[in-house]
């Protein structure tokens, strides 16, 4: 008799509830859970990959060790013992910082990894800690820390109550929301318009989200900072600044007024390609709206002024009083609150990378520095690397250089379920039990959600007797690295979860969540400032010195595009999630998505035909890729999707290899960063296009 299992899909940030019908260990169907109070029955195609990952014949289920080009299974005990021995030798001879760690994006999608990976870092005591944060959302965290006192106190659009949604460089219809956990986002966006509201999208590409927006405006890549400054200029010039109750605990208003004087809409028109009259109109409409929220995501994060952009986005919401109030930018109050015991403190530039002196932030160095830290000899050179559920060869800038660097390591360990473009360089791979075999609770994405909810998912299937959960792997690794001085007592993440729930805002418990498999609705976002601020004086800092001073870099900025006349940007598809779902046949089927988008006028000028292969070149490399001619991208801009490039030797991913595509990050430049934070500046990579004979 078929049974039904309810859980959260953890494959993207939307945390949709799903209903899985199964019988005798076989999955019969996966569909949206209509009784989930947050996702309301919504599902996207990615959820179907949960079955495909579970049954994937390429998925590793036991530790493997590389012998030349071959891989052989080894026991867990032998794997842990060899890792401890090799890492011990390297750190004894070359120092603690000779070992590095890289954690990929899926780390925060996995409950056990998130709550236990810190044990590895604590055991290694290395400053060479890297993650996907610095190729993704570091500027969000930096703005939150400088303005509000903590990098995880990030404002979230109150999407369900706003009347004006202004979007920069985000495509929620493809991402399902990002740093804005918003399942069923299409209906949430349509609801904005149904209640008389407006959606305005600013993006170099007419994305899927443009289909539901009232307006879309093409903008030159990486020029958003000028548009945002011009909006603030208009707010002050037209006497539209109205902080409301925020004024009682906000500092720096006059500083922002002064610095915005130099950035008029007329100046922004030259930089952005958007008419000054349109910029002014949008600013006036935003200020006049009963409720409004400005939101920016990947497109404004991964550019050389990404930190300035997120500071200014927050500032626009604050100056118009649309901050910490219904319909504006608000703060989630999660049931398991990772901020509950946090403290505001300095988390920036306490140390720097060895070669380029890029700054540390929240105990991480920018991953743009990883390859050079391996390739450049001398004291502190990285000689060993741990990677955890990440694929930096495809996900970080100048991936070919990193690929060469990995081959130079003395020793490498990967915690991963696949032999992919990165892990193929490992000496040992430790595969954790996968999604449907594990329990789940969304620690991070409940912190960034547009509504307060809580849900615990029990495992659907038992893991095989030889398998280990991710949390077991990290605890055992730490135990071996620390010398096995005491017997190991494994502690499941549910222990910490239950404790956090009981002492949290809602006084819940794991037992109560288990009784509610569809999840518990905890209500709309509520005002929480100034109490929830982490600044020492409990005040918002509207003009942080680090960011105000960085405006001089903007004033001095210039670029030469003669040799590389096109601006390259990335893009995402609803059935993609970085590089890690391309081994799912159901998700990659259909027409080829790995194409370079080019405006029809640019294509005509170059003499290109649709689907013709072109060579795209940048300072660091070149790829050959079919072109897709369209009106949905601005002139002078081209776009290649992120996460492809599976044609490398040694990759053991049958489906992905058959849909290999090319890697965007064989073109992006590791030297192009936001100088303030070191975050990668993917957007606006300068390239040229040539026909392939």
Q: Are 224 and 265 in contact (CB under 8 A)?
A: no
Same domain, 87 and 113: yes
448 domain residue, yes or no: yes
Q: CB-hemisphere CA count at 13 Å for 644?
A: 26
Instruction: Return d(Cα 295, Cα 177) in angstroms, integer.
Output: 11
**Is 335 among the domain residues?**
no
Considering the domain architecture, whether residues 387 and 479 belong to the same structural domain is answered as: yes
Taking only the tens place, the pLDDT of each residue in 57-78 is 999 999 999 999 999 999 999 9
Is pLDDT of 522 > 70? yes
User: Do 108 and 236 share a domain, yes or no?
Assistant: no
CA distance linking residue 163 with residue 160, whole number of Å: 9
CB 367 within 8 Å of CB 395:
no
CB 38 within 8 A of CB 449: yes
Specify the CATH number for the domain of residue 24: 3.30.200.210
pLDDT, mean of residues 625-632? 98
The answer to the question of residue 421 being in a domain is: yes
Q: Are 4 and 487 in contact (CB under 8 A)?
A: no
Given a cut of 70, whether residue 505 has pLDDT beyond it is: yes
User: Residues 349, 418: one domain?
Assistant: yes
- The CATH number of the domain where 294 resides is what? 3.40.228.10
Query: Which pLDDT value is given to residue 485?
Result: 81
Whether residue 148 is contained in a domain is answered as: no
What local confidence, expressed as pLDDT, does residue 580 receive? 83
pLDDT of residue 562: 72
- The answer to whether position 362 is within a domain reads yes
* The residue to which tokens 């594990």 are assigned: 438
Give the integer Cα–Cα distance in Å for 392 and 413.
Answer: 14
User: 614: domain range?
Assistant: 559-691
For residues 408 and 516, state if they share a domain: yes
pLDDT > 90 in the chain, percent: 96
Look up residue 470 and give its two tokens.
């991710």
- DSSP assignment of 264-317, as one string? -HHHHHHHHSS-HHHHHHHHHHHHHSSS-EEEE-HHHHSSTTHHHHHHHHHHHH
Q: Do residues 495 and 372 both lie within one domain? A: yes
Instruction: Show the tokens assigned to 218.
Output: 């093409």
DSSP run (H or E) holding 73: strand 70-73
Q: Are residues 635 and 615 in the same domain?
A: yes
- The Cα–Cα gap between 477 and 76 comes to 10
Q: pLDDT confidence of 303, banded at 50, 70, 90? A: very high
- Asked if the structure places residue 142 within a domain, the reply is no
We report the CATH number of the domain holding residue 467 as 3.40.50.740
Does one domain contain both 40 and 170? no
367-393: per-residue pLDDT in tens? Answer: 999 999 999 999 999 999 999 999 999
Average pLDDT along the chain? 96
C-alpha distances (whole Å) from 443 to each of 107, 192, 338, 480, 500 are 11, 28, 8, 27, 11
Residues 216 and 280 reside in one and the same domain: yes
Q: Looking at the structure, tell me whether residues 129 and 187 fall in a common domain.
A: no
pLDDT, tens only, 317-368: 999 999 999 999 999 999 999 999 888 899 999 999 999 999 999 999 999 9
> Taking 90 as the threshold, does the pLDDT of residue 1 lie above it?
no
> For the chain, give me the number of helices (H) and strands (E)?
22, 30
Q: Whole-angstrom Cα distance, residue 503 to residue 292?
A: 34
Q: Is the pLDDT of residue 540 over 80?
A: yes
DSSP character string of 369-382: GHHHHHHS-STT--
pLDDT at residue 234 is higher than 70: yes
pLDDT at 4 over 70: yes
Q: What is the pLDDT of residues 607-624, one digit of tens each?
A: 999 999 999 999 999 999
Q: How far apart are the first and last CA of the chain?
A: 60
The DSSP string of 386-427 is EEES--HHHHSSSHHHHHHHHTT-SEEEEE-SS--TTGGG-S
CA distances to 9, 40, 49, 456 from 36, rounded to whole Å, are 12, 5, 20, 12
The answer to whether residue 560 scores a pLDDT higher than 80 is: no
Looking at residue 561, what is its pLDDT? 64
Cis omega (within 30 of 0) on the bond before 206? no
Asked whether residue 514 falls in the same domain as residue 583, the answer is no
Residue 505 sits in the same domain as residue 377? yes
Alpha-carbon gap, residue 459 to 439, rounded angstroms: 5
User: What would the 3-class secondary structure string for 117-141 be?
Assistant: HHHHHHHHCCCCEEEHHHHCCHHHH
Q: Is residue 439 part of a domain?
A: yes
Query: Rounded to the nearest 10 degrees, what angle do helices 493-502 and 111-124 cross at?
Result: 110
The enclosing domain of 683 has a CATH number of 2.40.40.20
Q: Look at residues 646, 633, 636 and name the one whose alpha carbon lies nearest to residue 686.
A: 636
Q: Into how many domains does the chain fold?
A: 4
What pLDDT sits at residue 484?
A: 83
Establish if 147 belongs to a structural domain.
no
């Amino acid at each position: 008799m078929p049974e039904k299992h309810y859980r959260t899909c953890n494959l993207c940030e939307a945390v949709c509830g799903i209903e899985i019908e199964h019988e005798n260990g076989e999955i019969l169907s996966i569909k949206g859970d209509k009784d989930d109070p947050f996702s309301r029955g919504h599902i996207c195609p990615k959820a179907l990959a949960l079955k495909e990952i579970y049954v994937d014949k390429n998925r590793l289920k036991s530790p493997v060790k590389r012998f030349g080009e071959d891989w052989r299974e080894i026991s867990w005990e032998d794997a842990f013992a060899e890792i401890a021995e090799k890492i011990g030798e390297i750190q004894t001879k070359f120092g603690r910082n000779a070992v590095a760690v890289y954690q990929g994006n899926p780390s925060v999608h996995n409950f056990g990894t998130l709550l236990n990976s810190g044990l590895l870092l604590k055991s290694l005591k290395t400053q060479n800690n890297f993650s996907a944060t610095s190729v993704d959302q570091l500027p969000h965290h930096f703005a939150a820390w400088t303005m509000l006192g903590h990098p995880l106190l990030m404002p979230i659009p109150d999407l369900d109550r706003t009347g004006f949604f202004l979007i920069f460089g985000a495509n929620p219809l493809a991402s399902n929301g990002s740093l804005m956990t918003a399942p069923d986002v299409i209906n949430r966006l349509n609801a904005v318009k149904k209640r008389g509201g407006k959606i305005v999208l600013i993006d170099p590409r007419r994305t899927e989200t443009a289909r539901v927006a009232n307006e879309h405006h093409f903008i030159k890549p990486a020029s958003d900072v000028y548009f945002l400054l011009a909006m603030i200029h208009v707010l002050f010039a037209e006497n539209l600044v109205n902080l409301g109750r925020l004024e009682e605990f906000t500092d720096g208003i006059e500083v922002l007024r002064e610095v915005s004087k130099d950035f008029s809409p007329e100046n922004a028109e030259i930089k952005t390609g958007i008419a000054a009259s349109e910029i002014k109109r949008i600013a006036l409409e935003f200020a006049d709206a009963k409720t409004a929220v400005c939101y920016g995501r990947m497109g404004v994060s991964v550019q050389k002024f990404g930190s300035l952009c997120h500071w200014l986005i927050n500032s626009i919401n604050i100056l118009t009083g649309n901050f910490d109030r219904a319909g504006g930018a608000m703060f989630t109050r999660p049931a398991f609150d990772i901020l509950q015991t946090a403290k505001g403190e300095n988390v920036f530039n306490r140390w720097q990378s060895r070669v380029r002196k890029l700054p540390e932030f929240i105990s991480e160095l920018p991953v743009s520095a990883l390859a050079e830290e391996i390739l450049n000899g001398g004291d502190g050179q990285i000689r060993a690397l741990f990677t955890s559920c990440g694929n930096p060869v495809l996900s970080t800038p100048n991936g070919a250089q990193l690929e060469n660097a990995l081959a130079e390591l003395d020793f490498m360990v990967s915690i991963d379920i696949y032999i992919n473009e990165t892990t193929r360089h490992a000496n040992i791979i430790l595969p954790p039990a996968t999604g449907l075999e594990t329990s789940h609770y969304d620690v991070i994405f409940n912190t960034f959600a547009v509504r307060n909810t809580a849900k615990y998912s029990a495992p659907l299937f038992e893991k095989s007797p030889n398998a280990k959960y991710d949390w077991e792997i990290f605890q055992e690794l730490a135990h071996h690295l620390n010398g096995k001085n005491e017997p190991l007592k494994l502690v499941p993440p549910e222990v910490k979860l239950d404790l956090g729930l009981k002492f949290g805002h809602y006084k819940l418990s794991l037992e109560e969540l288990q009784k509610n498999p569809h999840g518990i609705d905890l209500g709309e976002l509520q005002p929480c400032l100034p109490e929830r601020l982490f600044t020492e004086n409990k005040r918002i800092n509207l003009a942080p010195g680090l960011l105000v001073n960085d405006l001089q870099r903007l004033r001095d900025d210039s670029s030469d595009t003669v040799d590389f006349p096109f601006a390259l940007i990335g893009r995402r598809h609803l059935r993609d999630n970085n590089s890690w779902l391309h081994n799912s046949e159901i998700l990659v089927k259909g027409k080829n998505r790995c194409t370079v988008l080019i405006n029809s006028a640019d294509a005509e000028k170059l003499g290109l035909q649709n689907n013709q292969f072109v060579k795209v070149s940048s300072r660091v490399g070149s790829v050959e890729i079919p072109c897709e001619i369209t009106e949905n991208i601005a002139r002078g801009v081209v776009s290649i999707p992120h996460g492809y490039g599976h044609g490398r030797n040694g990759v053991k991913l049958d489906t992905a290899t058959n849909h290999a595509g090319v890697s965007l990050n064989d073109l992006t430049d590791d030297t192009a960063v936001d100088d303030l934070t070191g975050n990668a500046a993917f957007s606006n990579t300068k390239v040229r296009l040539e026909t392939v004979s």
